[in-house]
Amino acid sequence: MSQMIATTLTVNGKSQTVTALPDTPLLWVLREQLKLTGTKYGCGIGQCGACTVMIKGAPVRSCSLPVGRAIGTPIMTIEGLSPDGSHPVQLAWKEFDVPQCGYCQSGMILAAAALLQKTPNPTDEDIDRQMTNACRCGTYHRIRRAIHRAARG
């Protein structure tokens, strides 16, 4: 049986102390203990991407990552992407009016930012291959346009 552990996580550039079972999903530690509620619960099995955060610059589904595996790695949530919403992906999202219901958007934005870090000038095929988050509203055409806009700056 696992024991609760007190540990320090680096979230959005700040050291944060949390107490949790090592196999507690990172998502719940972020939302419940650190009150970073921009990261959403969607499916709970790592498929939809609403819970996407960036770890070492890569998109990670926080609902399926045990907090014990996140120790010692820099974690970025949507709250850490930019303090004022001025990240190029966020600006492009606004320009193309991407969100409808908005539920998937924090995860989608972080996945797009990670894509652009890895592939600064993505093709449609790059976007289709690497953007695996689900949008129930079906705004994928606007998402693609916004990613291309953010790539241009």
**Alpha-carbon gap, residue 102 to 93, rounded angstroms:** 11
Task: Name the helix (H) or strand (E) containing 10.
Answer: strand 5-11
- As to burial, measured by CB atoms within 10 angstroms (0-12 exposed, 13-18 middle, 19+ buried), residue 17 is exposed
Q: Which two tokens stand for residue 70?
A: 């996140």
Model confidence pTM above 0.85: yes
**Alpha-carbon gap, residue 21 to 43, rounded angstroms:** 21
Q: pLDDT (tens digit, 9 = 90+) per residue, 104-151?
A: 999 999 999 999 999 999 999 999 999 999 999 999 999 999 999 999
Q: Which two tokens stand for residue 142?
A: 């606007």
